[in-house]
Amino acid sequence: MALEARRQRVMIRQVHPEVAGGRFAIKRVIGERVIVEADVFADGHDAIACALLHRHGHESTWHQIPMEPLGNDRWRASFGVTALGCYRYTIDGWVDPFATWRRDLLRRIEADRVSLGDLLIGVDLIERAAARAPEDAAVRLRAWAATLREEADLSRRQTVALDRELGALAVHYADRTRGSRYVRELVVTVEPVLARFGSWYEMFPRSCAPEPGRHGTLQDAQNRLPYVAAMGFDVLYLPPIHPIGQTFRKGKNNSMQGGPDDVGSPWAIGSAAGGHRAVHADLGTLNDLERLVEAAASRGITVALDLAFQCSPDHPDVQARPEWFRHRPDGTIQYAENPPKKYQDIYPLDFDCDDWEGLWTELKDVVTFWIQRGIRVFRVDNPHTKPFRFWEWLIAEVKRDHADVVFLSEAFTRPKVMYELAQLGFSQSYTYFTWRNTKAELTEYFTELMQTDVREYFRPALWPNTPDILSEYLQLGGRPAFIVRLALAGTLGASYGVYGPAFELCEDTPREPGSEEYLNSEKYEVRQRDLDVPLSLRELVSRLNRARRANPALHSDWSLRFHHVDNDRLICYSKRTADRRNVVLVVVNLDYTYTQSGWVTLDLEELGVPVDEPYQVHDLFGEGRYLWHGPRNYVELNPHELPAHVFELRPRVRTERDFDYYQ
């Protein structure tokens, strides 16, 4: 222990939020607050004070905010984050002899036991404060000290001693030279709102051509924008748009022998025509992409690209940079495997090769290349099969120059690996939502994600389906099941997405029984559809996304609370803004076959609803309006009509709280 540290009397412990002992940043988006708490205490009975210090990475000096005591030696303060990038925060604490003296003087006055000596101690402390203060404050403090020293009337002196304004001045100029600074500076990464809130739509451009049999283009995708915008999506995510390899190209339904007409998997990236920087000639050109990005932007839609760091055997780098791949003893390049399965159409990159720095830099340059073409959102394919340190480095490097970039981690893997990827910098992460179907599963999982410290770094993205996953629930439940999963995804998750048009068209046929793969998967072939079939959910999707945009309660996850329902097939939960001016209550029938009914028991205080006033619930999904009263209310949902209520609550009276843990 350093010699001077031995004189620090104030301890600062249990700082919150803090991820993995400060190893990782916490996450916020523009406009949120960081509410910081800590145990701060000293030995003995002296009064202490503490301050939250914070500064943006661009600032060289700290802003200071006095912390407020919460009782039990816990203190709190908060600051808002208004700029992208990194903020730092830490805490200072110090013993304040002047505040101690004032507090004790008050007790002595109450007990009528003030001595002259007690007052003179204060004079000394005020003069010391004056010595630390700028001139104008010093003058006032010295005058105060003089009165306290010289005033003849002792009781008058007591009154003067307790002057609030002068007292505050003396406290402000406390001696902090022996104060304690918390051992760590903690970091907040601030990202765009889209990192927290957005509705995503995944779509294969090559399936977008209106003429039967034609390979769709980026221009066709652009023509599809009105359809996507009408459903109210914020992000249009495109699978890889690069040239596709020929060698070992997969055929329809992932067959090993692709024929000459097979289009191949977009994830088998690279051909003689180019690699990760090129656009597949059948899709169009870089200019076409830029036009699509612009056209989408004009409709409020952000285009997201796929980062799949792997190569087809035909990728130019395989020839140009063989040292970036792993070689087998026979000199061939090692293809991807999960023994005994082989993926001969894909070569993984060897992130640990001798020229790892060259490889890493190239991959960063690929990201920068697309950023320069207007892309700000990347869905990252299988990040868990590449080194954690690579992603930590890449994301930090990219965000240093482009703090507005959002990375979505597509890691459907073990929980600790998913959390690690989130901690090291991914803005958002796919979740197990896809396989959580029962009330118990949903309640447990989303309580973990949204009510524990996981939420400080892991932002969930809820996807009912992806091109890789047609869940059993969707396979079995038909259209009602799709609506259930849509309602859950869009209200449990501030960020959610669907793979369309498979989703809104309720495509539910697996490749074979027991498989989660789609039959005739778009991963291996062009799939054109009639979008105007009556079973389409486009109207419902549109209604849900409209409700999401209109209700700030649904823009964040931290306020999620589950409410009791006396029927396990019905789930009920709420989200709200911090001030409870916007409250959304959701009830979903998880049973896609039968009508379920039951009584919900609402936590009215949580909802800001007075116990003795009726309140209106307005269904933004199904459009009904009901007048409810008190905590217990009846619900009944027929899955073949509409299996979910998304209620906006409209109590006549609002309660408010000044201070809350989320936005």
Contacting a second copy within 391-410 (CB under 8 A): 392-393
640 and 593 in contact (C-beta within 8 Å)? no
Contacting a second copy within 66-105 (CB under 8 A): 72-73, 104-105
- Note whether 156 binds a second copy by CB under 8 A: no
11-19, 262-270, 572-580, 639-647 -> range binding a second copy (CB under 8 A): 11-19
- Note whether 1 binds a second copy by CB under 8 A: yes
- Note whether 611 binds a second copy by CB under 8 A: no
Q: Among residues 134, 416, 514, 534, which is the contact residue for a second copy, using CB under 8 A?
A: 416
Minimum distance, C-beta of residue 227 to a second copy, in the bound complex (Å): 38
- Note whether 420 binds a second copy by CB under 8 A: yes
> In whole angstroms, what is the distance from residue 280 CA to residue 271 CA?
9
What letter does residue 495 receive in the DSSP assignment? E
Minimum distance, C-beta of residue 322 to a second copy, in the bound complex (Å): 17
Minimum distance, C-beta of residue 429 to a second copy, in the bound complex (Å): 15
Q: Among residues 59, 294, 352, 603, which is the contact residue for a second copy, using CB under 8 A?
A: 352
Minimum distance, C-beta of residue 396 to a second copy, in the bound complex (Å): 9
Residue in 466, 253, 255 with CA at minimum distance from that of residue 344: 255
* Beta bridge mates, 64: 53
Q: Is the Cβ of residue 10 or residue 537 nearer to a second copy in the bound state?
A: 10
> In whole angstroms, what is the distance from residue 538 CA to residue 532 CA?
9
Minimum distance, C-beta of residue 353 to a second copy, in the bound complex (Å): 10
Structure tokens at 188: 């907040």
Q: Is the Cβ of residue 287 or residue 332 nearer to a second copy in the bound state?
A: 332
648 and 618 in contact (C-beta within 8 Å)? yes
Binding mask 229-258 for a second copy (x = CB under 8 A): ------------------------------
Burial-class residue 275 by CB neighbours within 10 Å (0-12, 13-18, 19+). Answer: buried
Contacting a second copy within 12-31 (CB under 8 A): 13-14, 20-23
10-18, 270-278, 469-477, 629-637 -> range binding a second copy (CB under 8 A): 10-18
Minimum distance, C-beta of residue 329 to a second copy, in the bound complex (Å): 4
CA atoms 585, 590, 592, 597: torsion sign: negative
For residue 155, what are the contacts with CB-CB under 8 A and spacing of at least 6? none
Minimum distance, C-beta of residue 178 to a second copy, in the bound complex (Å): 8
Q: Is the Cβ of residue 20 or residue 143 nearer to a second copy in the bound state?
A: 20
Any idea which residue has 């778009």 for tokens?
A: 522
- Note whether 183 binds a second copy by CB under 8 A: yes
402 and 395 in contact (C-beta within 8 Å)? no
Per the annotation, the verdict on 261 as an active-site residue is no
Q: What are phi and psi of 644, to 5 degrees?
A: -145, 145
> In whole angstroms, what is the distance from residue 52 CA to residue 153 CA?
41
Minimum distance, C-beta of residue 130 to a second copy, in the bound complex (Å): 17
For residue 506, what are the contacts with CB-CB under 8 A and spacing of at least 6? 478, 479, 482, 535, 536, 537
Q: Is the Cβ of residue 129 or residue 470 nearer to a second copy in the bound state?
A: 129
> In whole angstroms, what is the distance from residue 444 CA to residue 284 CA?
46
Q: Is the Cβ of residue 134 or residue 329 nearer to a second copy in the bound state?
A: 329
> In whole angstroms, what is the distance from residue 505 CA to residue 486 CA?
12
Cα dihedral 290→295→296→302 (10° resolution): 40
> In whole angstroms, what is the distance from residue 61 CA to residue 99 CA?
26
Instruction: Label each residue of 282-315 as H, E or C.
Output: CCCCHHHHHHHHHHHHHCCCEEEEEECCEECCCC
**Which ranges constitute the DSSP H helices of 154-245?**
154-161, 164-172, 218-223, 225-230
* Beta bridge mates, 497: 200
Q: Among residues 66, 69, 155, 178, which is the contact residue for a second copy, using CB under 8 A?
A: 178
Per the annotation, the verdict on 381 as an active-site residue is yes
- Note whether 61 binds a second copy by CB under 8 A: no
Catalytic residue among 410, 507, 522, 557: 410
> In whole angstroms, what is the distance from residue 238 CA to residue 378 CA?
10
Q: Among residues 173, 267, 390, 628, which is the contact residue for a second copy, using CB under 8 A?
A: 390
- Note whether 356 binds a second copy by CB under 8 A: yes
60-68, 413-421, 487-495, 652-660 -> range binding a second copy (CB under 8 A): 413-421
Minimum distance, C-beta of residue 46 to a second copy, in the bound complex (Å): 10
Q: Is the Cβ of residue 457 or residue 496 nearer to a second copy in the bound state?
A: 457
- Note whether 6 binds a second copy by CB under 8 A: yes
Binding mask 123-142 for a second copy (x = CB under 8 A): xx------------------
- Note whether 164 binds a second copy by CB under 8 A: no
Minimum distance, C-beta of residue 468 to a second copy, in the bound complex (Å): 17
555 and 494 in contact (C-beta within 8 Å)? yes
> In whole angstroms, what is the distance from residue 636 CA to residue 599 CA?
9
- Note whether 113 binds a second copy by CB under 8 A: yes
Q: Is the Cβ of residue 308 or residue 585 nearer to a second copy in the bound state?
A: 308
- Note whether 211 binds a second copy by CB under 8 A: no
Minimum distance, C-beta of residue 307 to a second copy, in the bound complex (Å): 15
Catalytic residue among 92, 381, 504, 557: 381
Helix 116-132 to helix 135-150 angle (10° resolution) is: 170
Q: What are phi and psi of 455, to 5 degrees?
A: -65, -15
Number of chain residues interacting with a second copy (CB under 8 A): 60
> In whole angstroms, what is the distance from residue 628 CA to residue 433 CA?
31
Q: Is the Cβ of residue 384 or residue 439 nearer to a second copy in the bound state?
A: 384
**CA 104 vs CA 10, 141, 388: distances in Å:** 19, 20, 55
- Region of 80 (left: φ > 0; alpha: ψ -120 to 50; beta: rest) is beta
Amino acid code (one letter) for 135: E
Binding mask 299-338 for a second copy (x = CB under 8 A): -----------------------------xxx-x----xx
**CA 136 vs CA 96, 130, 131, 142, 166: distances in Å:** 22, 10, 11, 10, 12
- Note whether 212 binds a second copy by CB under 8 A: no
Q: Is the Cβ of residue 18 or residue 202 nearer to a second copy in the bound state?
A: 18
SS3 352: coil
Minimum distance, C-beta of residue 391 to a second copy, in the bound complex (Å): 9
Counting Cα atoms < 13 Å in the Cβ hemisphere of 309 gives: 28
| Contact set with a second copy (CB under 8 A) | 1, 5-9, 11, 13-14, 20-23, 39, 41, 43-45, 72-73, 104-105, 107-108, 110-111, 113, 116-117, 120-121, 123-124, 178, 183, 328-330, 332, 337-340, 352, 356, 360, 384-390, 392-393, 414-417, 420
Q: Which residues are catalytic?
A: 381, 410
